[in-house]
Structure 1
């Protein structure tokens, strides 16, 4: 069951992250490049933009059925940022549709464009803040709500410096993924633009990563302390840093396939380093550490869920692969030609 959980998480971070990142790239583009980004994003995202959230749905269902204690803590104590995430996803989807299919092309397009860009930026920030709340050590899990105020229970765990930094880190990760993937979806000057954006987002991601670790270490956050002392996490981060060298070379050369491979590998290494640092105690409250494997569902429930996921995966994955291949979204098996000219 852990495999399905982590697999869904990885796919959502990769695919959903690139989805959000496309809007972030558009947000931080110049006025003349915004229309270019808009057209490119629609061509790339249009066929599958709604399919990316299936991994989030699967992730929630697995937590709900197999890991009820973990799910209850998330739903109860993080209902504020999760509601904002839901509103952001909804607002982003509505604006994405209306800015392309609205029958009247008037000033309302400015509203749709603004909503799409803003929600693309703010939604991954709130997702990152949710993760920060789970591992930040400020979460108060209690049955006696009379001794705590609303802010202490439902705001303070995620609305703090550590949460903001984690949110910005994930947003920059999304921009890094999107800009790197879009290199292979463009030509000429547009490709040059995405190469520059990929280089900038990579630099921002590295700087934010160092700031995040330094802030967490000096703030004595247990998760960061374990992160910097866990040998596996350290190896993953060092390897990630080393792989930045060939990644930057591939980005500069406009190598669409190799840059995608290495960008995805960067995300896998960072995500694995974060998860292994304190696994299975992924929830760190102000008074205790709660294991993901604590009070899991009975074996009979796990077996039924596992069989359902296998059957569902056998139906969904081939269909999704065919969809992406039909619209030329999958290029990892294509020949990687160096089309960018220095």
Structure 2
């Protein structure tokens, strides 16, 4: 999931709706609105600090609905960022709403060197979208995705699990519909209840129950596997740690290393598949992985080893350089 950004958060700018789950000043840790001048200054400093690594990074605008900004404001941000593409940045990435994409705005983005557009789809169930105040439909997600791809931009899609009114089935269906759109990248965010949101009121009234941590980990691990099997890169799972996330959070499947937990769970599934496929009787087993995958197979706080022991396998995990990364072998 390695992906580098020099990111600027513009909380609620351009947002036409206040979604049930959203308090972006808490989520991003940003309280003040960044100016185009501050964008230029930060990018200038990043070029000096990063050196050649700048070529591995993108300039990114997250947090609001970038293409729903007043045109002058949007262009001012783009003008601040575009000159730094000549310094080696790989492109400009931005996030926006599906109903804020049309041919005119895509022409502007192309003019200023934008390379990637991410859509906050969140769900592909119209009932769930309505319950959570999204203000757009699943059809608009599809329509915007087609326009973005047709214009030659890299398409990113964002989904959420455990939204108000959703279920395991609707979450899976959302993922499968997003796969059909063939995005280049995906982000998966389990729903967290944050203070100051409509969702926090629903939770206090007993009308909303978030996923447990391990329900979210299990689902997201499975979805990651499915997306990547389709050749779609999962570049983020779970909210970033830091900022005011922990302070503003009331409940939900939050963990500062949520993505790591999901990777651990994927390796546990692979180990179980190997044991099942080889009809291995319970007892002592030795599993092999690439050395770079040792911690993923062992699991955080040895959770995977403990889980295998609970079902009857006393496992030893060995790193071997001749084992392909991402795979588990029976030794």
* TM-score, reference length from structure 2: 0.28
* TM-score, reference length from structure 1: 0.28
Which protein has the bigger helix share? 1
**Structure with bigger RCO (C-alpha 8 Å, 6+ apart):** 1
Which protein has the bigger strand share? 2
